[in-house]
A and B are shown apart, each in its own frame.
Chain A
Amino acid sequence: MACYIAWATDDEIRKKGTSGGFVTAALVSALENDLIDAALVVKRIDVYEGIPILTSDPEEVKSCAGSFHAVPVNLTKYVDPDLRIGMPAKPCDARGVIEQAKRLQIDLDKVFLIGLNCSGTMLPLAMRNMIEVLCQLDPDSVIKEEIIAEKLILKTKNGEKAIKIDEIEEKGYGRRQSCRYCNINIPFMADLACGNWGVPKGKKGTFVEIFTEKGETFFRNAVDSGAIAFEEAEEKSIFTRKRIDEAMKKLAEENWKKLSNSLDGIDRLSYYIKSFENCIGCRSCKIVCPVCACGEDAKCVSMDYETDSYRISMFNLVRLLHLMDSCIGCGQCEDVCPVDIPLTFIHRRFAKRIQDILDYVPGVNLEKPPFYETKLMEW
């Protein structure tokens, strides 16, 4: 597989980008050369707030350059199936898009998945609190944030402050829970993966790995139009990147074990009944779910009657069952839940069981879910 260190030839983009401005420069170039109709990017309001936008304006794309950790939104449902789209995608964005493609909602040929390495996102409010309490900084004075080598780096007008992610999380702040146990950091299911892991020290560049022909097209277009320059990645870079990925994965698995073991020896049924008892049936978890493509007549909705008053509603029971083979653990359901049910953890508990047994990972390729295939019979 082809690995490069690439950077934007435009100095301004290169400076603004987190690592080398490759993603921004290549997106702009794809727009200008009519490779895509629109880019799906997150428009920054400040360090803690951004909104997903579909735009054809290269200037707007440029304004979105740079990393952004406090906007944990999943972009899947913002994809317009009628347009050719280029989207920077965290692993969970890319997996959501692939799951929607399996359910015939998105044509993958029309979407360029520009993968972004991801070590996790933070909830805006949690991040503000952390910056105030742990870093003794005014949250509003932070102008830029980056995560490099397991450290969160906050830039203010007066300089930089770095803090280790481990330390943040030991003190109860930090990444969303779902990110802490997510074990996919490099979006190998996307068309290409970009990030700063493995970039030689002191160099302003983006490590790019190309996975598909579409990825190659996207990369070549940027090279041919002069938007980016690149060199082959050296063995050492590839090795460093792999090592970081493996360390993150190991940490994620430990985190999952710790969290999952918290249910050991307790009466799970009572735990689940208690967890769901505050559910107000608002359906937000279903609306944001990037793998759900059922629409308004979904079983979870149509089989749910408030008058049933089961101790766990049919809505939740059907969703638990329905997501067992497809949950990608993105954390959206938990983020939007107005009564703070630990939904992602619960869905992961149910889904991991079956996904492990059937050796099926949703959202990484176009393989149909196991309940559609003979695999289940063999098992």
Chain B
Amino acid sequence: MIEELGLEPERLRLEWISASEGSIFAEMIRDVTEKIKVLGPSPLKPEGVK
């Protein structure tokens, strides 16, 4: 759906992480945050809203 809509596919990510894998979880969140920052705000966000 993301692809058909024309959004960047990197905006959605699905990972299976166990409750015992804290460091993997933290690593993934850091990675996602970084990528999203590069992509910028969602094009679906209304104008003038931060």
Contacts and interface: CB of A to CB of B under 8 A. Distances in A.
B46 A269 contact: no
Contacts of A267: 6
B1 A350 contact: yes
B4 interface: yes
Contacts of B45: 310-311
A27 interface: no
Contact of A269 (B1, B6, B49): B6
Interface residues of B, number: 10
B44 interface: yes
A157 interface: no
A309 B4 contact: no
A335 to B, nearest CB: 23
Contacts of B7: 269
Interface residues of A, number: 18
A309 to B, nearest CB: 4
B35 to A, nearest CB: 18
Interface in A240-275: 267-273
A328 B6 CA distance: 23
Interface in B1-50: 1, 4-7, 43-46, 49
A195 B4 CA distance: 38
A321 B3 CA distance: 12
B43 A311 contact: yes
Interface of B: 1, 4-7, 43-46, 49
